[in-house]
A and B are shown apart, each in its own frame.
Chain A
Amino acid sequence: MTWAAASRGAEHRRRRWLGVVLPLTSVMLWFAVTSWRHRFLPHQLPSPGQVAETAWQLARSGELWQHVLASSGRVLAGFALGATVALVLGTLVGLSRTAEALVDPLLQLARNVPSLAWVPFLLLWLGIDEAPKITLIAIGAAFPVYLNLVAGVRQTDRALLEVGRVFGLSRDAQIRRIVLPSALPYLLVGLRIALGQSWLFLVAAELIASTRGLGFLLIDGENTARPDIMLVGILVLAILGKLSDSALRDVTRRLAPWSEVR
């Protein structure tokens, strides 16, 4: 590694630590207004200590892992389903103006429907089991992938397509070897947004008719007047969302090492 690269690496690591500052400050502030100055009643805002203890109990009893497992499974299944459908539709619409004219207006209508509006119908049509929850998450995951992929296919540099023509590439080969690779960074950004959306839609799906999952944990805490449980649910959701995003970002770096979209 050159000296410049090493110093860039050190700078990068130093900046990464900056990300810890604000969360840590927030916890200290939280501690200050609850345990120290007692500005909030415990049923309004429990202290960090109380929340930690609740988390520890939930973890030790195995209940927390049950919820985490149920929610993660739903997110993965819904994300995979939605992303796959969007991959097919996005590629078609990106490549063909006819497909765009046919499909895009319907998708743009559907995209603007609030997620909660789907819930009653999904329950009516698909029952109260896993199917409606996974479908709702798939709906949430599909649109970011679709929109980014269409944009990615459309932004293909005409200059690079000319390179393909100079070498006598067929239309199929141009799509496979130029259009799709050049859309890949856009697709990966779409997938990252979609994964975030999946966690958002998960809670909407689990708020209704579920007995397991982090969304259920939130509702349960609300119904039993346990803000400490709700805070555990919120914190675990935040951490899971961040971890899954980091994992997908690493995949992006491996799949598209040339890409500056990071």
Chain B
Amino acid sequence: MSVALRADRLVQRFGTRAVLADLSLEVGRGEIVSLVGPSGCGKSTLLRLLAGLERAETGRIELAGQPLTAPSRLIGYMFQDPRLLPWLTVRDNIVFGLPGAARRNADGLVGSLLSQVQLEGAASLWPHQLSGGMAQRVALARCLAVEPSVVLLDEPFSAVDALTRMALQDLLLAIWQRTQLTMLLVTHDLDEALYLSDRVVVMLGRPVALSESLVVTLPRPRDRRAPELATWRGQLLEALHLTGGAPQPLGSDTLRGRTRPHGAAIQPGAADDP
């Protein structure tokens, strides 16, 4: 599998506080990778660096082997909130990222995107007329309209109710089936991470230096009730020190000795300690 997106030894500090120290990550072409970890661990910072919204102090980001220094149309970004432009209709929001000439002759594209996100007939609505879930689907269509090769998603479904969230997850998978887009997803929802991803990367510690990976080997379409998912969920909770009991110091390095090498699979049912 060729590498679509590579982050190499990224360092980022806010003031004197290091958020990322020598963080490296690779996402293969067509792969869906989730980043999970406690709040403030640097997941969103990493995503914003990859999108070019912020510059890393040191380190290198490559998109399909080419160095990336500024926002690129090849990288789509889904925010936590829809961020639709209130003065544009759904149609004009969807084509917002296209160049001028393409924006005017985009009716075919808009129709096809609206049907992909199951919002047929919504083209002339205003953002304030949409529910949260609908607005987020329009944001997804806007993101896809420019045909990015990689999509970064920053907790994209965290602001909608649980049932809408599951519907949006299935929608995202359906789009992935068709386009084989590369996706990197930040989420707090372990079930979401396991249901969607080929690989779940746990980010822990301050600064985040190492990221440990759990490869989700279950073929798609996945059953949300699959026992493997529950097993993996347990392992993720353990990796995040969230199994209950006495509170663990945040950012402790005690996990280091027990982590697998970067990219190694955790097999369901395998003993946790080697």
Contact = CB atoms under 8 A, between A and B. Distances in A.
B128 A258 contact: yes
Interface stretch (A54-62, A162-170, A218-226): A162-170
B256 interface: no
B126 A167 contact: no
Given A159-B79, A257-B126, A258-B128, A167 B85 contact: no
Interface stretch (A28-36, A101-109, A143-151, A176-184): A176-184
Nearest to B128: A258
B222 interface: no
29 contacts: A159-B81, A159-B83, A160-B85, A162-B53, A162-B79, A163-B79, A163-B83, A163-B85, A163-B96, A165-B52, A165-B53, A166-B51, A166-B53, A166-B71, A166-B77, A167-B71, A167-B96, A167-B146, A168-B70, A168-B71, A168-B97, A177-B96, A178-B85, A181-B85, A181-B88, A182-B87, A257-B126, A258-B87, A258-B127
Interface string B96-109: 11000000000000
B165 interface: no
B231 interface: no
Interface in A243-262: 256-260
Contacts of A166: 51, 53, 71, 75-77, 97
Contacts of B71: 165-168
A157 to B, nearest CB: 8
A258 B52 CA distance: 31
Contacts of A159: 79, 81, 83
Given A165-B52, A166-B51, A167-B71, 18 more contacts: A159-B79, A159-B81, A160-B83, A162-B83, A163-B79, A163-B85, A166-B77, A167-B97, A168-B73, A177-B96, A178-B85, A182-B86, A184-B87, A256-B87, A258-B86, A258-B127, A258-B128, A260-B128
B148 to A, nearest CB: 10
Contacts of B127: 258
Contacts of A178: 85
Nearest to A255: B87
B72 interface: yes
Contacts, number: 50
A108 B5 CA distance: 52
Interface in B120-157: 126-128, 146
For B88, B96, B126, B146, the residue with the greatest tally of chain A CB atoms inside 10 Å of its CB is B96
Interface residues of B, number: 23
For A163, A181, A182, A259, the residue with the greatest tally of chain B CB atoms inside 10 Å of its CB is A163
B36 to A, nearest CB: 23
Contacts of B97: 166-168
Interface in B199-216: none
For B72, B87, B126, B127, the residue with the greatest tally of chain A CB atoms inside 10 Å of its CB is B87
A135 to B, nearest CB: 34
For B71, B72, B126, B128, the residue with the greatest tally of chain A CB atoms inside 10 Å of its CB is B71
Nearest to A165: B71
A178 B96 CA distance: 10
A163 B79 CA distance: 9
For A165, A168, A259, the residue with the greatest tally of chain B CB atoms inside 10 Å of its CB is A168
A256 B97 CA distance: 22
A250 B49 CA distance: 45
B46 to A, nearest CB: 16
Nearest to A260: B128
For B51, B83, B85, B88, the residue with the greatest tally of chain A CB atoms inside 10 Å of its CB is B85
Nearest to A159: B83
Contacts of A168: 70-73, 97
A215 B4 CA distance: 74
Nearest to A163: B83
Contacts of A182: 85-87
For B79, B86, B126, B128, the residue with the greatest tally of chain A CB atoms inside 10 Å of its CB is B86
Nearest to B85: A160
Sorted nearest first, the 5 A-B pairs with minimum C-beta distance are A167-B97, A166-B77, A181-B87, A168-B71, A258-B86
Contacts of B75: 166
Nearest to B73: A168
A210 B72 CA distance: 63
Nearest to B89: A258
A184 to B, nearest CB: 7
A181 B96 CA distance: 13
A166 B51 CA distance: 7
A219 B79 CA distance: 63
A217 B57 CA distance: 72
Contacts of A181: 85, 87-88
Interface in A18-49: none
